[in-house]
């Protein structure tokens, strides 16, 4: 009998009961706007910011409307101007170059290695051509952050981290988002905490924090923040920082706070699933496992493997055969952007030189989500299916 998987790759777990109860309280109050507060109640949003700042050891935190908003807001707050060049990963998701383009700046793509991280040699070669790097820890892969910071510090490049897939991850014990000047996170449904939409931004820089808060639309109510600098910092910047509204509301903060408290447990559950699939795929002929460095603490909410130097037709065949057995693989190397996948050359508003070594890697990446609604047994089955179908196409080819 041919085994088939019947689970859904887009089904997340329900919001924790505690979050539902807190959300109902917010709904009953009618006060959803973050600055709609009574008495000395700090409100769910300010508490979320305080708790997240403490969790990652940051001085300041701001919650916003989306991960993409956090990225664009960080660029504005650090002073990126129209026409400025901003370095970023060739292997990333559309909202990253999109955030750069949204402030009128120009993305300059840096290559990707077989480890699916930014190519640090390429970064070193391009570091003098820009003042800012928007570093995307795409699909949760952390590069050697110590070396990256050395390169950027030496070249005077400010690092803004896109931690959409690394909330809960760390490099050598330092939480992801805390090496750079600003760290940005997403609370969108397919990330590590789920409020539908939402984002968080952390920094230790008082002026960037104050600017970000003004930018997000604080209507001079910054005094109600808990993870924010003092009023004297806002006095310096409040007259020349525009309002680009993108706040978070109490409803979303209410459902996020219990999820943050559970994050450690969830990370362990994701990694059980990740390691199960990884073990099931290891030593499959023709398939390359992306090895995780010792210094990296990752969150296995998705898994990638490479079919290096396979023909497009053969990769397409694997994707189709797995799909027929219920296993949804995404091919990042496809020429046309489909769903969440896209290649740096599909962002035609940001033309770039071809990077042959990166193209070889990008063409070979297959990606699969691992929602926590999958059991470890599900993951064993999924790995058996992929292994069999990769094997069948590899031998046939
Ligand atoms: C999801 C995602 C974002 C943006 O998050 P949104 O909350 O959807 O705006 C940024 N970068 C990467 C790599 C992502 O996957």
Residue 271 maps to which CATH number? 3.90.1150.10
Residues 221 and 282 in one domain: no
Q: Output the CA 106–ligand 1 centroid distance in Å.
A: 19
Residues 107 and 246 in one domain: yes
Q: Output the CA 68–ligand 1 centroid distance in Å.
A: 6
Residues 63 and 135 in one domain: yes
Query: In sequence order, which ranges of the chain are alpha helices (DSSP H)?
Result: 17-29, 43-56, 67-77, 95-102, 120-126, 145-155, 206-217, 231-237, 250-261, 263-281, 312-324, 356-364, 376-396
Q: What is the mean pLDDT of residues 144-172?
A: 98
Q: Does pLDDT of 84 surpass 70?
A: yes
Q: What is the mean pLDDT of residues 311-339?
A: 89
Q: What is the mean pLDDT of the chain?
A: 96
For residue 87, the domain's CATH number is 3.40.640.10
Q: Does pLDDT of 71 surpass 90?
A: yes
Q: Within a domain: residue 222?
A: yes
Cβ of residue 88 lying under 6 Å from some atom of ligand 1:
no
Q: Within a domain: residue 380?
A: yes
Domain range for residue 319?
Answer: 263-394
Say what the pLDDT of residue 111 is.
97
Q: Output the CA 394–ligand 1 centroid distance in Å.
A: 34
Cβ of residue 199 lying under 6 Å from some atom of ligand 1:
yes
Residues 296 and 212 in one domain: no
Cβ of residue 329 lying under 6 Å from some atom of ligand 1:
no
Residues 67 and 114 in one domain: yes
Tell me the per-residue pLDDT of 219-243, one tens digit each, with 9 for 90 and over. Answer: 889 999 999 999 999 999 999 999 9
Q: Output the CA 164–ligand 1 centroid distance in Å.
A: 5
**Last-in-domain residue among 261, 286, 320:** 261
Of 146, 134, 163, give the one whose Cα is nearest residue 58.
163
Residue nearest atom 11 of ligand 1, based on CA coordinates: 164
> Is residue 67 within 8 Å of 164, Cβ to Cβ?
yes
Q: At how many degrees (to 10) do helices 376-396 and 263-281 cross?
A: 30
Q: Within a domain: residue 5?
A: no
**Last-in-domain residue among 205, 237, 261:** 261
C-alpha 79/C-alpha 333 separation (Å) is 34
Q: Does pLDDT of 116 surpass 70?
A: yes
Q: Output the CA 67–ligand 1 centroid distance in Å.
A: 5
Say what the pLDDT of residue 235 is.
96
Pocket test for ligand 1, best of 67, 192, 197 (most atoms within 8 A of CB): 67
Q: Within a domain: residue 318?
A: yes
Residue 106, H or E segment: strand 106-110
**Last-in-domain residue among 207, 237, 261:** 261
Residues 111 and 200 in one domain: yes
Say what the pLDDT of residue 348 is.
87
> Is residue 272 within 8 Å of 39, Cβ to Cβ?
no
Cβ of residue 166 lying under 6 Å from some atom of ligand 1:
no
Residues 377 and 290 in one domain: yes
Q: Does pLDDT of 339 surpass 80?
A: no
Cβ of residue 186 lying under 6 Å from some atom of ligand 1:
yes
Say what the pLDDT of residue 351 is.
84
Residues 213 and 239 in one domain: yes
Residue nearest atom 14 of ligand 1, based on CA coordinates: 164
Pocket test for ligand 1, best of 69, 161, 186, 252 (most atoms within 8 A of CB): 186
Residues 194 and 277 in one domain: no
Share of the chain above pLDDT 90, in %: 93
Say what the pLDDT of residue 23 is.
98
Q: Output the CA 199–ligand 1 centroid distance in Å.
A: 9
Q: Output the CA 235–ligand 1 centroid distance in Å.
A: 32
165: left (phi over 0), alpha (psi -120 to 50) or beta: alpha
Residues 66 and 215 in one domain: yes
Range in 17-26, 241-250, 288-297, 324-333 the model is least confident about: 324-333
Q: Does pLDDT of 43 surpass 70?
A: yes
Residue 241: Cβ within 10 Å count: 18
The first and second tokens of residue 336, run together, are: 């046309």
Q: Within a domain: residue 172?
A: yes
Residues 111 and 76 in one domain: yes
C-alpha 63/C-alpha 57 separation (Å) is 16
Q: Output the CA 94–ligand 1 centroid distance in Å.
A: 8
Q: Does pLDDT of 138 surpass 70?
A: yes
Cβ of residue 68 lying under 6 Å from some atom of ligand 1:
yes
The alpha carbon torsion through 262, 263, 266, 272 (nearest 10 deg) reads -140
Q: What is the mean pLDDT of residues 265-277?
A: 98
Residues 285 and 249 in one domain: no
Q: Within a domain: residue 98?
A: yes
Report the domain count for the chain. 2
């Amino acid at each position: 009998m041919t085994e088939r998987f019947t689970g859904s790759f887009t089904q997340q777990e329900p919001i924790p009961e505690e979050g539902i109860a807190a959300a109902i309280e917010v709904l009953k109050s009618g006060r959803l706007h973050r600055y709609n507060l009574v008495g000395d109640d700090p409100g769910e949003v300010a508490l979320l910011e305080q708790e997240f700042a403490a969790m990652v050891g940051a001085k300041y935190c701001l919650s916003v409307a989306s991960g993409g908003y956090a990225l664009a807001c960080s660029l504005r707050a650090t002073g990126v101007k129209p026409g400025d060049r901003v370095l970023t990963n060739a292997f990333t998701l559309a909202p990253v170059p999109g955030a750069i383009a949204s402030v009128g700046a120009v993305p300059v793509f840096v290559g990707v290695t077989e480890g699916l991280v930014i190519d640090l040699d390429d970064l070193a070669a391009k570091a003098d051509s820009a003042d800012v790097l928007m570093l995307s820890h795409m699909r949760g892969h952390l590069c050697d952050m110590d070396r990256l910071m050395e390169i950027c510090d030496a070249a005077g490049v400010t690092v803004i981290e896109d931690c959409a897939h690394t909330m809960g991850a760390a490099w050598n014990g330092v939480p992801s988002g805390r090496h750079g000047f600003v760290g940005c996170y997403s609370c969108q449904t397919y990330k590590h905490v789920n409020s539908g939409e939402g984002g968080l931004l952390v920094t230790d820089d008082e002026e960037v924090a104050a600017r970000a808060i003004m930018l997000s639309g604080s209507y001079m109510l910054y005094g109600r923040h808990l993870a924010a600098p003092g009023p004297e910092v806002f006095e310096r910047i409040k007259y020349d920082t525009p309002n680009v509204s993108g706040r978070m509301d109490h409803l979303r903060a209410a459902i996020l706070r219990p999820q943050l408290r559970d994050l450690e447990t969830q990370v362990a559950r994701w990694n059980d699933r990740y390691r199960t699939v990884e073990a099931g795929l290891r030593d499959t002929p023709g398939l390359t496992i992306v090895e995780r460095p010792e210094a990296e603490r990752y969150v296995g909410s998705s898994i990638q493997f490479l079919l290096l130097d396979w023909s497009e037709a053969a990769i397409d065949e694997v994707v189709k055969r797995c799909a027929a057995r219920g296993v949804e693989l995404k091919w990042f190397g496809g020429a046309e952007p489909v769903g969440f996948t896209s290649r740096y050359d599909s962002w035609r508003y940001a033309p770039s030189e071809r990077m042959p070594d990166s193209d070889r890697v990008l063409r070979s990446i297959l990606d699969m989500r691992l929602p926590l609604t999958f059991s470890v047994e599900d993951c064993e089955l999924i790995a058996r299916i992929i292994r069999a179908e990769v094997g069948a196409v590899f031998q046939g080819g």
